[in-house]
């Protein structure tokens, strides 16, 4: 199955949603309630994949994203496409959070704060028993937040390099470089597995 | 890559099938409801901003103004001297500077080797000198920081017909054209007369000098009882009203004793300590007794400030015993000291236990003609009133 097949199998999910147009005059709380009921699982799934399947982490991000949406509504900001907004906000929120955690996990900061290094959840802890899936989880866990985000957006959400760059505020060339870095790591792992 | 893409899809499907837990869902909904309420966080922020602004204004108007070098009259005060803006400084024809009453002056370390704070009580003429200050006229309290360097020469305060050598202390000086007087509050100073005669002063002692006393200087020393009262020195020198009392650094313990009904006059007991005779053993012994008393009373004051009244009482009792041992025969001075100690112990008893009637009764029996008699009788009268009140409350006749 090639990438083209994958793209055909999985239709783009960022289609224009019309739920907001119908309730634009409703109070902010009701609109957020509606958006929460419609998109909570999807936002949670996106947070799960960026957070390396950490359920509690993903729940926190989901909460942050919907509170952010509420604040936007309270300020009177009009959001035409709620799903697209949630996609962008969730991705950026996850990246910010991962970046902050990475900074706090740096040895000098840990020394200053007196904390221990955070150990990523093992595939066994995540309930992944298949050997192949464990390899995937390991490779993605080793990738940097930006690499992971670009890889997911490219291979799962089927966004072009330009679209990813616009969403994350990166250049197209840099996005391409990040995706290629993960691909190279995958090839390296496959070659290693083949030789064994 | 193909195999990996398949695995990636499977992995993604696994995550997609994961749902938010019921607890997590309830928590997010509750948090959303909470966030939907009107926000009240702006008020603390507003108060914080207002407080910070007020503090900044206060600092700008008061904090910096008092130490601002711009407060000095340019060219009228010696270099390195700082004083508050309320201070009036006028240059004198003799090259010195005349400071108005109430001036607070800080002479920094660079000028004379250590920090010196001056408080001018009466208009004073001051000028700088090598390693010191010259007081030509006026009343000034000097607060000299201790000199840290072991071999450093002492700070010198020049006065008419004399010189005061200081090694970190607090004292007040009043100088007039033909003499003056100095009261030592803390530390130790040496007074060098123009004739070369040297006199050492202990805390609580006062020294007067005149232009004619060069050959026969006279100093007034308080009795041991006065010395034992720690900081009472400023009060006991009632015959020298021009010397200001020690500034408000007196601890609470010492202010308690300020209800002395009749301030005792210091008996003039001129004691001439020449440089040759200063090492006399008798003088050293007397000095050690005074130092012991002063040290102990200082500890008592500290304990009283901390609220450790029982410990302070114990120290006072030990001091009383020590006086009894050191002077078995009851002299006038030891009797006065003991009376002061007993009165002090009474105030501590009151703080510690409340009821001190028995102590005042004993005090009156021990010192029937003491200086505190009037005060103690008043206290005993209030004791009787309270006892009558107690008996009435209990229904007793």
Which range among A10-14, B230-234, B295-299, B309-313 shows the weakest confidence by mean pLDDT?
A: B230-234
- CA distance linking residue A49 with residue A141, whole number of Å: 10
A48 interface with B at CB cutoff 8 Å? yes
Tell me the per-residue pLDDT of B125-148, one tens digit each, with 9 for 90 and over. 888 877 788 888 888 888 888 776
Distance CA B175, CA B207 (A): 12
> What integer pLDDT is reported at residue A111 of this predicted model?
81
Tell me: pLDDT of A174 over 90: yes
Residue B119: beta bridge partners?
Answer: B104, B141
Among A71, A136, A193, the strongest candidate for a mutation testing the B interface, having the largest count of B CBs within 10 A, is A136
* Pairing label, strands B132-144, B116-129: antiparallel
Which has the higher per-residue pLDDT, B174 or A83? A83
Selected residue with higher pLDDT from B330 and B358: B358
Rounded to a whole number of angstroms, the distance from the CA of B359 to the nearest CA of chain A is 59
Tell me which chain A residue has its CA closest to the CA of residue B10.
Answer: A133
Which of the residues B2, B3, B18, B23 would you substitute to probe the A interface, choosing the one with the greatest number of A C-beta atoms within 10 Å? B18
CB atoms within 10 A of CB A195: 6
Six token digits for residue B306: 């901390």
Chain A residues within 8 A of B41 when measuring between CB atoms: none
* Confidence label for A177 from pLDDT (cuts 50, 70 and 90): very high
* pLDDT beyond 80 at B3: no
Task: Give me B51's structure tokens.
Answer: 């407080």
Top-ranked range on mean pLDDT: pick from A154-168, B227-241, B329-343? A154-168
What residue of A is the nearest CA neighbor of B14? A128
Average pLDDT over residues A182-193: 81
CB atoms B6 and A1 under 8 Å: yes
Residues of each domain in chain A carrying CATH 1.10.10.10: 129-196
Taking an 8 Å cut-off on Cβ atoms, the answer to whether B11 and A33 are in contact is: no
For position B328, what pLDDT does the model report?
A: 63
Structural contact between residues B380 and B348, judged by C-beta atoms closer than 8 angstroms? no
The residue in chain B having the minimum alpha-carbon distance to the alpha carbon of residue A132 is B7
- Dihedral of CA atoms A192, B2, B5, B10 in degrees, nearest 10, equals -90
**Residue B296 to residue B320: CA distance in whole angstroms:** 11
Answer yes or no: do A155 and B5 touch at CB < 8 A. Answer: yes
Give me the residue from B3, B14, B29 closest to A128, CB to CB.
B14
Residue A18, Cβ density class (10 Å: 0-12 exposed, 13-18 middle, ≥19 buried): exposed
Strands (E), B177-247: 179-186, 189-193, 198-201, 206-210, 219-220
Confidence band for B369, pLDDT divided at 50, 70 and 90 = confident
Is the four-CA dihedral A124, A143, A7, A190 of positive or negative sign?
negative
Q: Considering only CB atoms, which chain A residues are within 8 Å of B28? A: 36, 40, 59, 62-63, 66
Q: Phi/psi of residue B76, each to 5°?
A: -100, -25
Taking Cα atoms as reference points, which of B332, B266, B290, B267 lies closest to residue B203? Answer: B290
Q: A5-60: per-residue pLDDT in tens?
A: 333 333 334 434 444 444 566 777 888 888 888 898 889 988 888 887 788 888 89
* pLDDT value for B392: 52
**Whether pLDDT at B343 is above 80:** yes
Which chain A residues are closer than 8 Å to B27 by Cβ?
59, 63
**DSSP secondary structure letter of residue B59:** I
Contacts of B15 in chain A (CB under 8 A): 45, 48-49, 53
Give the Cα separation of B306 and B321 in Å (integer). 24
Is A59–B15 a contact, with Cβ atoms under 8 angstroms apart? Answer: no
* Local structure of A7: helix, strand or coil: helix
Question: Which residue carries 């009904």 as its tokens?
Answer: B261
**Chain A interface test: which of B6, B8, B13 (most A C-beta within 10 Å):** B8
Quick check: B265 and B237 in contact, CB under 8 A? no
A143/chain B closest Cα distance in angstroms: 14
Residues B219 and B190: beta-carbon distance below 8 Å: no
Chain A partners within 8 Å of B3 (Cβ): 132, 190
Residue B156: in which H helix or E strand, if any?
strand B155-159
Residue B30, chain A, CB below 8 Å: the answer is: no
Instruction: Give how far Cα A72 sits from Cα of A28, A182, B67, Å.
Output: 9, 35, 51
**CA angle A194–B3–B5, rounded 5-degree value:** 135
**Do the chains contact at B16 and A6, CB–CB below 8 Å?**
no
The shortest CB-CB distance from B12 to any of A36, A58, A156 is to A156
Range list of H helices, chain B: 2-16, 22-36, 42-58, 64-67, 109-112, 224-228, 233-236, 252-256, 281-306, 309-326, 332-353, 357-366, 373-394
Q: For residue B274, is pLDDT > 60?
A: no
Residues with Cβ within 8 Å of B344's Cβ and at least 6 positions away in sequence, in order, are B256, B257, B300, B316
Between chains, do A67 and B32 touch, taking CB under 8 Å as contact?
yes
Candidates B20, B29, B32; nearest CB to A41 = B20
Using the Cβ of B31 and the Cβ atoms of chain A, whether some distance falls under 8 Å is answered with yes
pLDDT exceeds cutoff 80 at B181:
yes
Cα–Cα distance, A55 to B380 (Å, whole number) = 79
Contact with chain B for residue A41, Cβ under 8 A: yes
Structure tokens at B115: 């920090």
Q: Do B28 and A66 touch (CB under 8 A)?
A: yes
Q: Could you give the 3-state DSSP secondary structure of residue A58? A: helix
CA angle B147, B153, B155 (to 5 degrees): 65
Contact A38, A13 (CB under 8 A): no
A28 in contact with B at a CB cutoff of 8 Å? yes
Assess contact for A54 and A121: CB atoms under 8 A. Answer: yes
From CA B98, how far away is CA B140, in angstroms rounded? 12
Q: Write down the residue that tokens 């990523």 correspond to.
A: A120
CB contact under 8 A, B20 and A187: no
pLDDT per residue over B49-84, tens digit each?
Answer: 889 999 988 888 766 554 444 344 444 667 778 777
B178, B160 contact by CB (below 8 A): yes
pLDDT at B197 over 70: yes
Question: Which of A67-81, B86-100, B298-312 is predicted most confidently?
Answer: A67-81
Claim: this prediction has a pTM higher than 0.90: no
**b/e string for B354-389 if b means 16 or more Cβ within 10 A?**
eebbebbeebbeebeebbbbebbeebbeebeeeeee
Rounded Cα distance, B97 and B104, in Å: 14
Question: Measured in Å, how far apart are chain A's first and last C-alpha atoms?
Answer: 24
Cβ atoms of A82 and A20 closer than 8 Å: yes
Rounded-to-integer distance, Cα B166 and Cα B112, Å = 12
Query: Encoding tokens for residue A127?
Result: 């309930």
Q: Which chain B residues are within 8 Å of A59, Cβ to Cβ?
A: 20-21, 24, 27-28
Half-sphere exposure of B373 (CA within 13 A, CB side): 8
pLDDT in tens, B150-175: 677 778 888 888 888 887 777 788 78
pLDDT at A100 over 80: yes
- In chain A, the residue whose alpha carbon lies closest to the alpha carbon of B11 is A133
| Residue among B1, B3, B7 minimizing CB distance to A133 | B7
Helix, strand, or coil here: A9?
A: helix
Q: What is the pLDDT of residues B98-109, one digit of tens each?
A: 888 888 888 876
Q: In angstroms, how far is CA A55 from the centroid of its own chain? A: 13
Of residues B2, B18, B35, nearest to A48 (C-beta): B18
Q: Tokens 């008419």, residue?
A: B160
Question: Any CB–CB contact under 8 A between B15 and chain A?
Answer: yes
Inter-chain residue contact B32 with A70, CB threshold 8 Å: yes
- Cα–Cα distances in angstroms (integers) from residue B387 to residues B349, B392, B397, in the given order: 18, 9, 12
Q: Taking the CA atoms of chain A, what radius of gyration do you get in angstroms? A: 19
Please state which CATH number belongs to domain A129-196.
1.10.10.10
């Amino acid at each position: 199955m090639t990438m083209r097949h994958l793209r055909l199998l999985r239709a783009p999910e960022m289609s224009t949603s019309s739920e907001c147009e119908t309730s634009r005059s409703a109070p902010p709380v009701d609109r957020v309630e509606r958006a929460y009921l419609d998109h909570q699982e999807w936002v949670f799934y996106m947070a799960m994949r960026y957070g390396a399947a950490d359920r509690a982490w993903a729940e926190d991000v989901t909460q942050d994203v919907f509170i952010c949406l509420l604040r936007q509504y309270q300020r009177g900001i009009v959001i035409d496409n709620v799903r697209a907004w949630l996609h962008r906000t969730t991705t950026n929120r996850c990246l910010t959070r991962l970046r902050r955690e990475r900074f706090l996990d740096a040895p000098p900061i840990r020394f200053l704060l007196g904390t221990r290094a955070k150990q990523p959840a093992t595939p066994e802890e995540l309930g992944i028993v298949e050997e192949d899936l464990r390899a995937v989880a390991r490779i993605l866990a080793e990738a940097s937040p930006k690499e992971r985000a670009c890889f997911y957006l490219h291979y799962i959400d089927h966004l072009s390099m330009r679209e990813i760059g616009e969403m994350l505020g990166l250049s197209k060339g840099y996005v391409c470089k990040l995706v290629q870095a993960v691909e190279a790591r995958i090839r390296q792992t496959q070659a290693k597995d083949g030789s064994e | 890559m193909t195999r990996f893409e398949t695995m990636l899809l499977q992995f993604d499907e696994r995550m997609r099938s994961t749902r938010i837990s019921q607890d997590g869902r309830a928590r997010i909904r509750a948090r959303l409801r909470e966030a939907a309420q009107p926000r009240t966080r702006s008020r603390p922020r507003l108060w914080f901003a207002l407080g910070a602004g007020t503090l900044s204004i206060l600092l700008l108007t008061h904090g910096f103004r008092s130490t601002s070098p711009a407060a000095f009259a340019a060219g009228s005060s010696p270099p390195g001297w700082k004083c508050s803006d309320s201070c009036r400084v006028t240059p004198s024809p003799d090259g010195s500077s005349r400071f108005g009453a109430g001036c607070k002056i800080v002479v920094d370390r660079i000028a004379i080797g250590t920090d010196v704070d001056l408080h001018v009580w009466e208009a004073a003429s001051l000028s700088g000198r090598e390693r010191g200050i010259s007081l030509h006229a006026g009343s000034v309290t000097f607060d000299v920081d201790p000199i840290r360097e072991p071999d450093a020469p002492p700070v010198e305060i020049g006065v008419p017909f004399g010189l005061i050598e200081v090694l970190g202390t607090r004292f007040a000086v009043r100088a007039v054209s033909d003499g003056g007087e100095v009261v030592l509050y803390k530390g130790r100073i040496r007074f060098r007369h123009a004739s070369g005669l040297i006199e050492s002063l202990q805390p609580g002692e006062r020294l007067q000098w005149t232009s004619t006393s060069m050959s026969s200087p006279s100093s007034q020393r308080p009795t041991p009882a006065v010395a034992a009262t720690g900081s009472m020195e400023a009060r006991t020198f009632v015959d020298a009203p021009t010397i200001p009392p020690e500034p408000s650094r007196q601890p609470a313990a010492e202010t308690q004793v300020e209800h002395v009904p009749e301030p005792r006059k210091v008996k003039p007991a001129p004691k001439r300590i020449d440089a040759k005779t200063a090492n006399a053993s008798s003088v050293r012994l007397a000095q050690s007794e005074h130092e012991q008393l002063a040290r102990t009373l200082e500890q008592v004051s500290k304990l009283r400030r901390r609220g450790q009244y029982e410990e302070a009482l114990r120290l006072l009792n030990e001091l009383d015993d020590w006086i009894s041992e050191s002077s078995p025969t009851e002299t006038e001075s030891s009797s006065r000291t003991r009376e002061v100690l007993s009165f002090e112990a009474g105030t501590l008893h009151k703080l510690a236990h409340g009821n001190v009637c028995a102590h005042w009764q004993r005090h009156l029996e021990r010192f029937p003609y003491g200086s505190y008699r009037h005060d103690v009788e008043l206290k005993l009268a209030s004791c009787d009133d309270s006892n009558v009140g107690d008996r009435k409350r209990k229904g007793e006749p």
